[in-house]
């Protein structure tokens, strides 16, 4: 974070400064800001956020013992540390992020990119950050820091040397993206797609469209919206951009897009395609598995080249990205039994894409195995969408369909109803039972997809299988 005095810090977040004897009002703070006391070190700022299972105020003494200079709290805590008392620590975190980014931006070079979409945010963020990092100091989220806490924490990592801030904006309901993006008014806003992820929270696909379009509305006047030319709902955001004096740059498979791809070939080692950037074509060899990640790469290329990176350099840097992120199409195991751990998150769109990738990368002498768990936050659409995935797995000819957990049972029942009645589809109540089955059932040549929403916990099953077959 940039350097602020304790008095300045208190003023920014509208708090009351309570000094410990070791500090003064003019003491400067510029350390890391975090809500997790385990990440706190000397000179850092600890934010005591109340939570569902615990209260951050309990850990103020721990943060103090680890060298934190100040704690942002909602009430004074008995601890040897200066404290700033505010009404709401999460809102204070947002206020601080807005101020810090605003000050850095006013001093010069900082450019801000915001990314949203029902799927692909983290992968696109990682790809774009990798491209931009070679061009200047780049700040981007750890993992999927994209909510009301994670996004401001990322923003607060900027310094006066930062050239690019890449922010990822997730949401489970209307208004959340507007609030987060409003903290920084991005120079570039990327909308990847409008799908069924979190549809239960939004109340349907049209509400999801309205929520994702909040990013386009938040882009500063004179900025740029990078939009998916293949998604009709994203295309419908173009008039919103025009109304707000925001230019549009298109990406997709459509030849009319400013950045587009053709001749896509998916293999077990990655994805090959021809990309055209503003009329100049080149080969792209992505190490990341899956044709669906081509769209994420195109979005990253469209944004990076708009920010001044040459197409040639951007493509070269993209080719160095080995995996999208841990637990996202992550190859594990060995050539003998390959595990693809994609169980960090799941929606109907990403589940379908992962299953199709499994079918595409498997040769005739290899067996396709899908280990699937529930897709969360689908609300009233849950039964229908789980049925659809069970049907798709059968139609793709997946030889072993392993369903785990009661919330995913509809996939198993649909797979059986559609023809997988001779042992192809099996059901287990929990991951441990599935692990015992898979460690004896899997054989040389198998290609195994592990896919579920985060809440199902199958990412850890994927890790265990990867280690077993390494």
256 is in an annotated binding site: no
Q: Hey, where are the domains in the chain?
A: 4-87, 92-318, 330-468
Q: Is 49 annotated as a binding residue?
A: no
Name the residue among 70, 40, 77 with its Cα closest to residue 55: 77
pLDDT band at 198 (very low <50, low <70, confident <90, very high): low
**pLDDT of res. 108:** 83
Q: Which residue has the tokens 């293999």?
A: 267
**Does 232 count as an annotated binding residue?**
no
H helical segments located in 158-279: 176-182, 199-202, 205-218, 232-235, 238-243
Residue 120 marked as a ligand binder:
yes
Q: Select from 2.30.30.30, 3.30.450.20, 3.40.50.10860, 3.90.190.20 the CATH code of 330-468.
A: 3.90.190.20
* Nearest-angstrom CA–CA distance, 153 and 97: 7
Scanning 22-120, the segments in alpha helix (DSSP H) are: 60-65, 89-106
Residue 70 parent element (H or E): strand 70-73
Contacts of 29 (CB under 8 A, 6+ apart): 1, 3, 4, 5, 6, 9, 43, 45, 69, 70
Half-sphere exposure (Cβ direction) of 178: Cα atoms closer than 13 Å: 10
d(CA 323, CA 331) in angstroms, rounded, equals: 8
119 is in an annotated binding site: yes
Confidence of residue 196 (pLDDT cuts 50, 70, 90): low
Q: How many CB atoms lie within 10 A of CB 69?
A: 24
- Can you tell me which residue has the tokens 């005739």? 364
CB atoms within 10 A of CB 323: 16
Percent over 70 (pLDDT), the chain: 98
CA atoms 228, 229, 232, 236: torsion sign? positive
* Domain 92-318, architecture per CATH: 3-Layer(aba) Sandwich (3.40)
Give the three-state DSSP class for 159.
Answer: coil
Residue 201 has what pLDDT?
A: 58
Going by pLDDT thresholds of 50, 70 and 90, the confidence category of residue 203 is: low
Q: Residue 46 and residue 59: Cα distance in Å, rounded?
A: 9
> pLDDT tens for residues 113-127?
999 998 889 899 999
Tracing tokens 């499994």 back to the chain, one arrives at 358
On the question of a common fold for 92-318 and 330-468, the answer reads no
- Establish whether 122 is an annotated binding residue: yes
Helix, strand or coil, per DSSP, at residue 184: coil
Whether 199 has a pLDDT exceeding 90, the answer reads no
Burial class, 378, CB count within 10 angstroms (exposed 0-12 / middle 13-18 / buried 19+): buried
- Residue 385 pLDDT greater than 80, yes or no: yes
Closest CA to 230 of 264, 258, 247, 254: 254
* Average of per-residue pLDDT across 420-427: 80
∠ CA(315), CA(319), CA(321), 5° rounding? 125
Q: Which CATH superfamily is domain 4-87 in?
A: MurE/MurF, N-terminal domain (3.40.1390.10)
Q: Does the annotation place 118 within a ligand binding site?
A: yes
Q: How far is CA 372 from CA 26, 38, 198, 409, 433, in A?
A: 56, 33, 18, 10, 14
**pLDDT tens per residue across span 9-21:** 999 999 999 999 7
């Amino acid at each position: 974070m940039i350097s602020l005095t304790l008095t300045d810090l208190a003023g920014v977040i509208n708090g009351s400064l309570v000094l410990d004897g070791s500090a003064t009002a003019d003491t400067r703070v510029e350390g890391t800001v975090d809500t997790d006391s385990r990440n706190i070190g000397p000179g850092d700022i600890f934010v005591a956020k109340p939570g569902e299972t615990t209260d951050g105020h309990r850990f103020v003494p721990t943060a103090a013992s680890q060298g934190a200079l100040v704690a942002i709290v909602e009430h004074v805590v008995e601890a040897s540390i200066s404290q700033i008392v505010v009404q709401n620590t999460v809102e204070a975190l947002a206020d601080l992020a807005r101020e810090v980014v605003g000050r850095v931006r006013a001093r010069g070079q900082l450019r801000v990119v915001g990314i949203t979409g029902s799927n692909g945010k983290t992968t696109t963020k990682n790809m774009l950050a990798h491209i931009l990092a070679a061009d200047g100091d780049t700040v981007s989220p750890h993992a999927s820091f994209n909510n009301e806490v994670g996004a401001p924490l990322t923003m607060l990592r900027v310094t006066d040397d930062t050239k690019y801030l890449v922010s990822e904006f997730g949401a489970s309901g209307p208004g959340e993206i507007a609030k987060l993006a409003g903290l920084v008014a991005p120079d570039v806003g990327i909308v990847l797609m409008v799908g069924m992820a979190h549809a239960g929270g939004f109340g349907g696909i049209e509400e999801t469209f309205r929520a994702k379009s909040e990013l386009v509305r938040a882009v500063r006047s004179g900025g740029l919206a990078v939009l998916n030319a293949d998604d009709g709902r994203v295309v419908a955001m173009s008039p919103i951009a025009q109304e707000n004096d925001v230019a549009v740059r298109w990406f997709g498979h459509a030849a009319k897009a400013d950045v587009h791809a053709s001749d896509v070939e998916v293999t077990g080692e990655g994805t090959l395609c021809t990309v055209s950037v503003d009329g100049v074509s080149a080969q792209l060899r992505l190490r990341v598995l899956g044709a669906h990640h081509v769209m994420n790469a195109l979005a990253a290329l469209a944004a990076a080249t708009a920010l001044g990176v040459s197409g040639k350099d951007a493509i070269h840097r993209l080719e160095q990205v080995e995996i999208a992120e841990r637990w996202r199409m992550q190859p594990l195991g060995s050539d003998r039994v390959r595990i693809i751990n994609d169980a960090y998150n799941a929606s109907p769109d990403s589940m379908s894409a992962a299953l199709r990738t499994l079918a595409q990368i498997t040769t005739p002498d290899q067996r396709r195995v899908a280990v699937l768990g529930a897709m969360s936050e689908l609300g009233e659409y849950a039964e229908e969408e789980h049925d659809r995935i069970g049907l798709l797995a059968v139609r793709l000819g997946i030889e072993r369909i392993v369903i785990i957990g009661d919330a995913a049972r509809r996939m198993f029942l649909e797979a059986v109803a559609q023809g997988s009645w001779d042992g192809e589809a099996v059901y287990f109540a929990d991951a441990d039972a599935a692990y015992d089955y898979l460690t004896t059932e899997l054989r040389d040549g198998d290609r195994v997809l592990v896919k579920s929403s985060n809440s199902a916990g199958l990412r850890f099953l994927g890790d265990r299988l990867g280690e077993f077959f390494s």
